[in-house]
Amino acid sequence: MGYPQDPSGGRGGQGQRRPYAPVPPPPRAPRPAPVRGATGQYRVAARPRPTTPPPPAWVPPQQQRPVAPQYRPVPAPRRTVPAAPPRAVPHQQWSMPAAAPYRIPAGPRQPVRSGYPQANWQQPAWQQAAWAPRPPAKADNTWLIMLLIAIVVLIALVLAGSVLFLNGRTGTDAGGTTYPGTSTVETTTTTLGTTTTSAATTSSGGIGTTPTGTAALQGNPLYANPSTGLITQPCNAVGWPSDSTAGQRFFDSISPCLDRAWGAAMRAANLTYRAPTVLVPTGQLISSPCGMTNLATENVAAFYCPSNETLYMPPKGLQVDRYGNKPVIYLAVYAHEYGHHVQRVSGIITAQTRIERQNGRTSALGLESSRRLELQAQCFSGLFVKSVSDTGGQFTRADYRTAYEDQERGDRPGDPNRTHGTLAHSQGWWDTGYQSNRLARCNTWSATSNDVA
C-alpha cells in the first residue's frame, strides 16, 4: 500500500502595492507539463492413496492465502463440503528475512524510462514602439475576455473529470471487480530498516515494475485491492487428456481462458503479463531445464519450470487411466500450475527463492515459505475454477464437488520435508479461492504459520 509524500515548502508573503504599477511584460506562453512517465520445479502433489488414513478435519484459516505444489490426483475419502471460510482477519504479518541470492532467474529487465525535457522557451525581445498620435479612447473589454477564459477553463475541467470518472469504471467482473484506469501511486516499502519510496503508474497496459522482497509477498499488487477477483467468462474444453495428443488439444483449448483471466488481473495491478507455454510429454521420464523428473518414483502429477516458463502436463502423472473423462479435475490441476506462472511473473517466486537461499531449503523458514507458495497456487486454482463456473460454458456448479474432493494434494503424513501443506490445508485453501473469487483472500504470505502448516 503506498502513501503519498507530504508536500513541502510554501509561498512567501505579498509585496507592498505601489501607487503606479508599471506596464506588465507580455505574458509568457505556458510551458508544456513534463510527461509522467534457479531453476526449480513447482509441482502439484498427488493426492494420498486410499490406504492413507484421512487427515483431521481442517478449520478454515482466518485469513485466506495460497501456494501451489505439483501433485498427482489420487482418490480421497469423501468429505463433507465445508462452508465458505470466514473473511480474512489480519494476523501478525510474516516478515521475510534478509535478501538472499536468487535461485530463479530474474525476469526481463524493465524498460528504462527516458526523460521528457521541457520545451525551450525564450522571452521575446522587447521593442520600443514608434511614436504615433494617441488613438481615440476605446471601451475596456478586459472583463469580457476574462469571463470567456474562465468559461473555457471550467469546461475543460468538467471534461477532464468526466474522462477520469469513466476510466475508473472500466472493466468489472460479476463480483464487482474494478480495473482502474491510469493513475499515479506512490509506494513506501520498509524492509530490514531500509525504507524505499517509489512512484508507479498504473494503466491497462501493465507497465509497472515487478515487485521484490516483502512487496512481492505480503504486499503484492495482485491482491492490493480487496474487491478484485478474476473476470467471469465461459470456458469450453475440447475432450479430455486421454493421451499426449488429446492432452495437448485439451490444454490448448483452455489456455486462452486462463490467459484472459490472469492477463486482466495482472494489468489491473500494473504488472507486466506474458503467457506461459504448455507441453504434454509422453512416458515417465520428463526432461526440462529444471532437471529430470521420473513419474515412476516421484509423487508428481504435473509441474511448472520457471526457467522456460513452461507447464508440463503428462497424462501419466495426471493418472487419466484412474480419473477418465472428468475435465474439471484436469482443469483444476492446470489452473494450479498456471498459478505458479502468475507467481513467477509477479515476483513472488523470486522473493520466495531468496528466502530458501538465505535460510536453507529444508530449514523451518525455507519449508514454510514453500508451503505458502504451494497453498497460494491452490487458492489461485480455486479462483479460476469458480470464475468459469455457471457462466454459460461447459463448467457448472455441479462440477464443484468433483473438483473439491480431489484437492487433498498436500504432504503425506510422515513426510520429513513438508513443502505443500497438510491435505486439509491443500483442500481448504483451494475452497477459499473458489468460494470468494477474491485475490486478496489468497494472500498466504500474511497468514499465520498454523494456517499454512
312 burial via Cβ count (<10 Å: 0-12, 13-18, 19+): buried
- Of 180-194, 274-288, 347-361, where does mean pLDDT reach its minimum? 180-194
Cβ–Cβ under 8 Å, residues 207 and 295: no
Q: In Å, how far are 17, 79, 95 from 22, measured between CA atoms?
A: 11, 89, 65
The pLDDT value recorded for residue 21 is 52
Instruction: Judge whether 227 and 238 are in contact, CB under 8 Å.
Output: no
Q: Give the residues across from 444 on adjacent strands.
A: none
Q: What pLDDT, on the 0 to 100 scale, is given for residue 269? A: 96
Enter the C-alpha cell of residue 309.
Answer: 516458463
Beta bridge partners of 398: none
Q: SS3 for 341? A: helix
292-300 long-range contacts (CB < 8 A, ≥24 apart) are 293/41, 299/45, 299/46, 299/71, 299/72, 299/412, 300/43, 300/44, 300/45, 300/46, 300/70, 300/71, 300/72
Q: What is the pTM of this model?
A: 0.59
User: Cell 519450470 sits at which residue?
Assistant: 305
Separation between Cα atoms, residue 318 and residue 46, nearest integer Å: 9
pLDDT per residue as tens digits for the range 196-226: 333 333 333 445 688 998 899 999 999 999 9
pLDDT digits (tens, 9 = 90+) for 221-239: 999 999 999 999 999 999 9
Q: What is the pLDDT of residue 162?
A: 52
Q: Is the pLDDT of residue 267 over 50?
A: yes
Asked whether residue 132 carries a pLDDT value surpassing 50, the answer given is: no
302 forms beta bridges with: 44
| Cβ burial 205-218 (10 Å sphere, 16+ → b, else e) | ebbbebbbbbbbbb
Split at pLDDT 50, 70, 90, the class of 22 is low
Q: How far apart are CA 441 and CA 453, in angstroms?
A: 17
pLDDT surpassing 90 at residue 74: no
In degrees, rounded to 5, the angle at the alpha carbon of residue 94 between the alpha carbons of residues 92 and 384 is 100
pLDDT of 414: 85
Which pLDDT band holds residue 143 (cuts at 50, 70, 90)? low
Residue 240 pLDDT greater than 70, yes or no: yes
CA proximity to 351, closest of 43, 91, 69, 104: 104
Closest CA relative to residue 375, chosen from 409, 338, 415: 409
